[in-house]
Chain A
Amino acid sequence: MDLVRHLGYFLVVAEERHFGNAAARLGMAQPPLSQRIKRLEEELGVRLFERSSRRVALTEAGRLLVPEAREIVARAERIRDLMADMARGAAAVVRAGVPADLGAPVLAALIAGFRDRRPDVRLSLTEMGTAAQVAALLEGRLDVGLLRHPVAGHGLACGPVLVRYPGVLLAEDDELTAWAAVHLGDLAGRDLVMFPRDAEPGLYDDTLAACRRGGFVPAEVIHTDRAEFALGLVLSGTAVAFGVPAEVPGVVWRPLAGKPLAWRCSPAWRGEPGPCVRDFTDVAVQVLKDDAGMVDEAMPPAPRVAPRPATGFLA
Chain B
Amino acid sequence: MNPGVNAVERVFRSAGVTGWLHAVDIDDGREVGMRADEPVVLASVFKLPLLLELHRQAERGLLDLTERVRVPASGRTGGGTGLSAMLDDATLSLRDLAYLMMAVSDNTAADVLLARVGREAVNTLLDGLGLTATRVTQSCREMLASLRVDAGVADQSDVNQACADPEVVARLSALDPAVANRSTPREMTRLLAMIWRDEAAGAASCAAIRRLMALQVWPHRLASGFPFDDVAVSGKTGTLPTLRNEVGVVEYPDGGRYAVAVFTRSYGTAQNQPRADAAIGLAARTVIDQLRTHI
Residue numbers of A with Cβ under 8 A of B are 178-181, 183-185, 213-215, 257-260, 301, 303-311, 315
Contact = CB atoms under 8 A, between A and B. Distances in A.
Interface in B197-245: 214-219, 223, 227-233
Contacts, number: 62
A3 to B, nearest CB: 72
A301 to B, nearest CB: 6
Given A305-B229, A306-B229, 5 more contacts: A215-B228, A257-B252, A258-B254, A259-B254, A305-B230
Contact of A185 (B215, B227, B232, B253): B227
21 contacts: A180-B290, A181-B289, A185-B227, A185-B228, A213-B229, A215-B228, A215-B229, A257-B292, A258-B252, A258-B254, A259-B253, A305-B230, A306-B229, A306-B230, A306-B233, A308-B219, A308-B233, A309-B215, A310-B219, A311-B219, A311-B223
B251 interface: yes
Contacts of B253: 258-259, 301, 304
Interface string B78-115: 00000000000000000000000001000000000000
A248 to B, nearest CB: 22
A185 B223 CA distance: 14
Contact of A309 (B103, B231, B252, B293): B103
B293 A180 contact: yes
Given A178-B7, A258-B253, A308 B223 contact: yes
Contacts of A301: 253-254
Nearest to A188: B227
Contact of B230 (A180, A258, A311, A315): A258
Contacts of B103: 309
Contact of B232 (A179, A259, A303, A306): A306
Given A181-B289, A310-B217, A214 B233 contact: no
Contacts of B229: 213-215, 304-306
A181 B7 contact: no
A28 to B, nearest CB: 77
A181 B251 CA distance: 15
Nearest to B226: A183
Contacts of A184: 228
Contacts of A315: 217
Contacts of A183: 228, 231
Nearest to B285: A179
A309 B292 contact: no
B217 A258 contact: no
B290 A306 contact: no
A279 to B, nearest CB: 36
A289 to B, nearest CB: 21
B289 A179 contact: yes
A178 B103 CA distance: 33
B23 to A, nearest CB: 14
Contacts of B218: 310
A306 B231 contact: yes
Contacts of B292: 180-181, 257
| A214, A257, A303, A305 pick with most chain B CB within 10 angstroms | A257
Contacts of A213: 229
Contacts of B252: 257-258
Nearest to B224: A311
B81 to A, nearest CB: 13
Given A257-B252, A259-B254, A304-B253, A309 B227 contact: no
A301 B254 CA distance: 8
Contacts of B231: 183, 258, 306
Shortest Cβ-Cβ A-B pairs, 5 listed: A306-B232, A180-B293, A258-B253, A310-B219, A305-B229
Contacts of B216: 309
Contacts of B290: 180
Nearest to A311: B219
A306 B231 CA distance: 6
A256 to B, nearest CB: 11
Contacts of A305: 229-230
| A258, A305, A307 pick with most chain B CB within 10 angstroms | A258
B293 A303 contact: no
Nearest to B251: A306
A260 B219 contact: no
Nearest to B293: A180
A173 B179 CA distance: 47
A260 B7 CA distance: 26
Nearest to A258: B253
Contacts of B232: 306
A276 B49 CA distance: 67
Given A309-B215, A309-B217, A180 B289 contact: yes
A73 to B, nearest CB: 66
Contacts of A259: 253-254
